[in-house]
Structure 1
Amino acid sequence: MLRRNGFTLVELMLSVAIGAAFLTSAITFMLTLGHSMYQIQQQLTLESELRLLTQTLTLQLSRAGYVARYHDTSTLVNQLALNGTLANIHVGHHPNAPQHSCVLFAYDKNKDGAISLASPSEHFGFRLNNKALEFRVAGKSCEASGWHDITDTRKTYVSAFEIKPKQAGQPAWVVTLTLQSAQQAGLTSSRTFLISATNAHPS
């Protein structure tokens, strides 16, 4: 007796079920892989921004108190006294931010032998405010509005920025900076680093 070619209904349903299971597994794997790749990309972006901010803070703060060699001896004493005051690093905070989350400093940017009181371009600062790291504008105080955001809160939250002297009387500062992804909950990156400012001292 000849056997009919083809599949029975049970065999066909079983084949479809196995195929669907394989397809579901493949889709699940691809979705998981895609999510993992997205998380890795977000983490790398966070690490890159943290590294850039660390470099910026280190570069700027290490210049605090710098004054180029001064040649006009007729006003040298007064200028040195003034520069000594402006060479201080002031630490404070915005009213809505934690203690030690704002730093103000100055240096002789144009190398004319003086830190100018009248020139905002020689007065610098960084602070934490509303989950952003901000840059000082026009010589404003830690409490004033009008600072410029240097991080984008649509992408990154700054959850911590703290600066403290390493030890009393030493020109070194311990800075802690923590970033959090605004697009991926739970992704954070933090760094504590030392900045030497040999021309400046705490106020």
Structure 2
Amino acid sequence: MSGIKYRGQTLLALMLSLALSSFLLLVVLSFYGYIQRQNHDMLRKLQLQTELQRVLQTLGRDIRRAGFRSLSEGLIQNNLSLFELDETGTAITIGQSANSPLNSCVLFFYDVNGNGCIGANNKGKSCVANGKNSASEISTELFGYRLNDNMIESRQTYKSSISQTCKQEECRSYIQPEACNSSGWTDLLDDKTYRITALTFDRIEQGQGIQVYLAGQFVNYPHIQYETGIVIPLLNQGEWQ
């Protein structure tokens, strides 16, 4: 028994073993961190996609109604001709606000409450008196969306910014391209979280529809981007009527 010899690891072998183990551990941790980052990016992109699709669907529902007017029993004269931009009944226009890309703003109107006029019910049977609008609260049926300072905004027309007794020229001005620079707009998204990089409205099919393109990214994660689009038929305009 005394002749048996025992051999252990040398210091060099031990150091190599520890180095290899440390390297493998670093590889595993790095791969785990990569997977975690990928998962977080995937969740963030899903969040961005959900928000932009929600905004796009909101635009689609609203713009599709442009020019809608209801038939109201007992109404002798509506005020639609005061707001329509031409003899064909155009109720929507495309423009842009100052320092914004072309075709990044859309303005329109439609009869939300179904009273046959733009605005709230008038006391009488007409929404026009002496060539002027006589319906109240016309601001509630004037709409718009625009790109401004990397954010998509919705029009919030205030009573103080418009005349309730406007004549045709002034009534029409509320949905003409110049109104894209008016006051009363509010962000549709949190500008500290999202940045809208593109928003365009383009007429298609001889004006019978509008193609909307929307793109955005996260403010703190600009590499996470998403773009989408939609074609909106204008069912209350031109040949559709």
Q: Which residue of 2 aligns with 1:131?
A: 150
Q: TM-score, normalised by structure 2?
A: 0.74
The yes-or-no answer on 1:91 pairing with 2:128 is no
Aligned pairs, number: 198
Instruction: Classify the secondary structure of the residue corresponding to 1:45.
Output: helix
Give per-residue Cα distances to partners, 1:62-92, cap 9 Å, x unaligned.
111111112235325xx35336448510211
Q: Which residue identity does 1:90 align to in structure 2?
A: T
Q: Is the 8 A contact 1:172 1:196 kept in 2?
A: yes
Gaps of 5+ in 2: 120-132, 162-178
The 5 Å alignment of 1:1-203 reads 1-4=3-6, 6-72=8-74, 74-75=76-77, 79-82=79-82, 84-85=84-85, 88-116=91-119, 118-138=137-157, 141-168=179-206, 170-200=207-237
Q: Is the 8 A contact 2:75 2:116 kept in 1?
A: no
Instruction: Classify the secondary structure of the residue corresponding to 2:13.
Output: helix
Deviation, structure 1 residue 99? 1.3
Taking only aligned residues, the RMSD between alpha carbons, in angstroms, comes to 2.1
Instruction: Classify the secondary structure of the residue corresponding to 1:68.
Output: coil
- Judged with a 3 Å threshold, the aligned counterparts in structure 2 of structure 1 residues 121 and 10 are, in CA distance, closer, same or farther, namely same
Instruction: Classify the secondary structure of the residue corresponding to 1:114.
Output: coil
Give per-residue Cα distances to partners, 1:116-171, cap 9 Å, x unaligned.
26421111110000100000011672112431000222222111111121033x32
Instruction: Classify the secondary structure of the residue corresponding to 1:142.
Output: helix
- Judged with a 3 Å threshold, the aligned counterparts in structure 2 of structure 1 residues 53 and 63 are, in CA distance, closer, same or farther, namely same
Q: TM-score, normalised by structure 1?
A: 0.87
Bigger shift: 22-31 or 79-88? 79-88
Deviation, structure 1 residue 176? 1.1
Q: Is the 8 A contact 1:64 1:199 kept in 2?
A: yes
Instruction: Classify the secondary structure of the residue corresponding to 1:81.
Output: helix
* In structure 1, C-alpha distance between the alignment counterparts of 2:5 and 2:234, rounded to whole Å: 92
User: Larger radius of gyration, structure 1 or 2?
Assistant: 2
Q: Which residue identity does 1:91 align to in structure 2?
A: I
Q: Is the 8 A contact 2:98 2:181 kept in 1?
A: yes
Q: Is the 8 A contact 2:80 2:118 kept in 1?
A: no
Q: Which residue identity does 1:106 align to in structure 2?
A: F
